[in-house]
Each structure stands twice: as structure tokens, then as C-alpha cells.
Amino acid sequence: MRLLLVEDDPMIGKAVRQGLLNAGFTVDWAHDGAAAELALRNGVYDLAILDLGLPVKDGMALLGSVRRGGNHLPVLIATARDAVSARIAGLNAGADDYLVKPFDMDELVARVRALLRRHAGSGSSLLTTGDLVLDPLRKTVTQGGQPVALSAREFALLETLMQRPGAVLSREKLEESMYGWGEEIGSNAIEVHLHYLRKKLGSAVIVNVRGVGYRVAD
């Protein structure tokens, strides 16, 4: 899952980014409202964490233009503006959740996961396909009840596929959801991770739709 963090404070931004990386998310960090607006245009994000007091373009203005543009991605406001009127204004402008600084990193991660679940239309955090069960919280995968050990990238790849059961995802789409800005991607990195995933889970688990991409088997 790829998140956009919009935060101008270097200390807070660094800590939040690291906390989200530790939780297994791919994170891009935009330092002002205009950079965030530009980043959101390419539509690769699953969720945005939005500060309100931002240079160039304020968070509320950014949120307004994102929603007016028809972009429905989940937005969690994380701000020092703690007045009830500010919270109401944020939610009314289209935010999905509102967290006041200083916040606990674990709470932020829990809220991000809850929003992603809700957005995917599922109340459960477990992803299930056939006898395959993936737990995004515990970072575990079982197949037929037996645990399967995966690398962090293999896990992220499988999670991306299982979040969209039945959908065929192109290699570019998989890369976008797994790698952030400035991360080196080998030309066949996705194929290599898929190869190992198939080796561990069985070749029938991930279907290659020739010339289009990949999906998890029904």
C-alpha cells in the first residue's frame, strides 16, 4: 500500500514516515501543499495523511481541490489545529478521519489501516483467497492453515494482489504500489518476487494474464 505523507515539519515528517515504513507501507513524503497536489494527480496512492498548516498551499485548500477534482482517496488529517470547529471543517471538506498532534504513532497506523479496510469495503483486517489467509497486522500468511514465510517485498506484493481479488494488475501498477520515490527498482524486480511467491505458494496461486498483468487465483 502506497501512502502520501503531506507534512512540512522535518522532525515530525521524518518520524511519521519511519513509523509508516516500519508498519510495512510504501511512503512518499511531500513537504508542501503544491507538491502534494502534483503527486496526487498521478493517482497511485491508497491514502493520504494531510497536515493542515502547510507552505505554498494550505491543507484545507488542497483537500478542497482534491475532492472537487473527484479524487476519492481516503484522507486522514493530522494537525495541531485541535479546535472542534477545525475538526468539523476538516471532516466536512471531505477528510475521512482527523487526528490531533501530538499523536501516538500506533494510533495513526491503526487509523490508517481502518480507513484502508473501510475503503476496500471490508470490516475485517484479514485478506482471504481460497485457502490463503493474509493478516496485514501481524504480517503473516497461512496456506491451508500452515504458516508461509515471505520476505517483506513478497508479502507486500501478495497483499497488493489480495486487496483487489479478481482484478488484473499490470506490472507498472504493482511497482507503483510497492516502491516509493527514489527507490531503485530492478527491471524485472516484480517478476523475481512473483517467481519466489509462486515457488512458496504454488504456481497456480498467481495467474499471469498474458500482456496485461497478474491476479490472484479465485
Interacting residue ranges for Ca ion, rule: CB under 5 A: 8, 51, 53
CA dihedral 49, 54, 59, 65 (to 10 degrees): -110
51 vs 176 by CB, closer to Ca ion: 51
48 vs 157 by CB, closer to Ca ion: 48
Measured from the CB of residue 54, what is the shortest distance to Ca ion in angstroms?
A: 6
Indicate the residue whose CB is closest to Ca ion. Answer: 53
Measured from the CB of residue 53, what is the shortest distance to Ca ion in angstroms?
A: 4
Measured from the CB of residue 12, what is the shortest distance to Ca ion in angstroms?
A: 8
Report DSSP letters for the chain, one per residue: -EEEEE---HHHHHHHHHHHHHTT-EEEEE-SHHHHHHHHHT---SEEEE-SS-SSS-HHHHHHHHHHTT----EEEEES---HHHHHHHHHTT-SEEEESS--HHHHHHHHHHHHHHHTT-S-S-EEETTEEEETTTTEEEETTEEE---HHHHHHHHHHHHSTT--B-HHHHHHHH--TT----TTHHHHHHHHHHHHH-TTSEEEETTTEEEE--
8 vs 135 by CB, closer to Ca ion: 8
Measured from the CB of residue 32, what is the shortest distance to Ca ion in angstroms?
A: 10
Give Cα 75 to chain centroid, integer Å.
11
Measured from the CB of residue 61, what is the shortest distance to Ca ion in angstroms?
A: 14
57 vs 195 by CB, closer to Ca ion: 57
Instruction: Extract the C-alpha cell encoding 62.
Output: 488542497
55 vs 202 by CB, closer to Ca ion: 55
20 vs 116 by CB, closer to Ca ion: 20
Measured from the CB of residue 8, what is the shortest distance to Ca ion in angstroms?
A: 5
